[in-house]
Structure 1
């Protein structure tokens, strides 16, 4: 920090000490901003706008956003978004809006909790806080999933064994099957896999387009099949440490919303 910055900070401290009303005004302005329902509404509207822009930008710039589904979010930000800020500006703006919405939610919840409670309005006041907690759990789950865990994708010919997976695991692609109609067009496809841990078989299953295989927090997904060079499949192995938090957050969000709806309906 240079001397000019130090002088400016000292000037602000002196101004606040000499003018308590100025400090109170700034403090109240910040509190009112984060406690305001307008902040929530405008932030949500901004998010909708950014997502709308993103729905246009993502198909146009597939070279930037295409790898998003194959990488952890923070990995994608480091490798692609940070290197292409003009194409990913709406993403960073959305991230900033989510941070603002999170602070807004926490401040509102704290303000509600420290207020005076009565038995009559207990449920009516606790319901929004349950919604807020659920929302924060969902955000925390996505944060954990964005930076930790793993997401690996690869092309596997039928009969091969993919070794060296995290946690001492290996994946064997046993068979790839495809069902066609009378004209030869594919109607359905599947892949039989076996999962090993430290050399021991722990589970097996048949993967489909909407039928993953789960084991101890890890999911195995069938992304596509390929018969151009013999039976093969493109598989993804994913571990999301925030999955349970996301489930709990979703349940709390629905519970709080249902409570608030019923209580408001009874009150009217």
Structure 2
């Protein structure tokens, strides 16, 4: 079986799920292609199982991922199977799987599962508190078990098509669009301090091309999506939010 795993990841949680799925499926001899939408746009049309995932921003996956799916996922007439997943700090507003499922169903895909993974917080600015080390380890263990169960079901062909409801999807997508607009203004709160070495890593990694390095240093423009990739990956932790420095989120530190 040929499997394509497509994802968008900001701080690394969604990428972690994608890599785990790829590794486990390859170990049982599945042919797996993994695509990060930041660097790839071509989805193989001979895919037997499509898996798409993203983080939850304000109740839905990022508008960037929604638009990518609508533009780059081809329609299918052979009832290709699909699984959608999301990563978030909680399940209350994890509606992204419903939006992704509806988009794929409309393109002819049979939705087999909507997986919601509770992962550590990577957005803990202002009123949001970061998770404790114990909480993070518990979350990772639970997610590992959840992934293992999904892979077993895929291998045993135990997943059957589920009903996809489209009611309310427009409202959920409006949330994604609204947040994308808000993020452009929120992103102006990023800045750098004197620890910045002008390595340009944040410039190269920004999925929105929102960061510029010039003779004046690092400049943040008005196209941010608040993925926080820059702040968590800076080698010197030199990026501030509202002039405050925060502890960087590095999931690998707890694996």
What is the TM-score when the length of structure 1 is the normalising length? Answer: 0.24
* Higher Cα radius of gyration: 1
* Structure with the higher fraction of residues in helix conformation: 1
What is the TM-score when the length of structure 2 is the normalising length? Answer: 0.25
